[in-house]
Structure 1
């Protein structure tokens, strides 16, 4: 059983957590383009409109970049491909929600993390198995990859919104 999931009287998994609701809200915010006020926390995932997580606020944005975390606070990572064959910079912890379906499943686009100079950031440790948390701090921009992943949002315990950006992703 994942974080926030319980069985109902008939044995079906029922979402009791907030990750699904937050990701659904991010999708709704990405889909609308309304100009409303800001909330008190500058990185609140529910902050509207899209573009509200950036400074200066109200810039053109089409994506709310976020991370998913497990119960230990470890960022979820997913594989992506770049145009350069054999590129070892192939894991990211940053996502854009593309679709939500069947209650709490989502299709996420894996975002390519970029350091200064638009160089792909290698987020894995030297051994290549764990996420190097200090490298995440060096990410300053993102690029949309062509890699998508389908996840059960009930398997995560936290979602952290990072920034609103314009990636030129067609809806």
Structure 2
């Protein structure tokens, strides 16, 4: 099981760094490709059509502006596709979000928030966990640690006071 990552431009890669950190922590392999839905449509189609053969189980497709890449990938594979809208441009990523989330019936793209590579990473892990007990167990452990982190932050806030906490 491997995660495929496609970005519409190399300028999108810094946003994905948070996802790479998460996957590295979980020791889940991934491959990264730069593919433009508009400038290399045949490459996008071929990538999607052959992804399963390469051992990919889920694809994270990140794009900004018109953001057709996630939809083009989803149109050419039955693997789950997670769309990651990239912020920027005059609409600050809203155009990318709408382009990704508004897909026609039968060609779904799961979509996370603008620049939210962390949630894209975790959603991909949740999908992999359906068939990977190790990943599922690690996700359960992570989720069980979240309340402790909030309680610790709240304790720190109370001890330091608001002004001291936000410095």
What is the TM-score with the length of structure 2 in the denominator? 0.22
Q: Which of the pair is proportionally richer in strand? A: 1
Q: Which of the pair is proportionally richer in helix? A: 2
What is the TM-score with the length of structure 1 in the denominator? 0.22
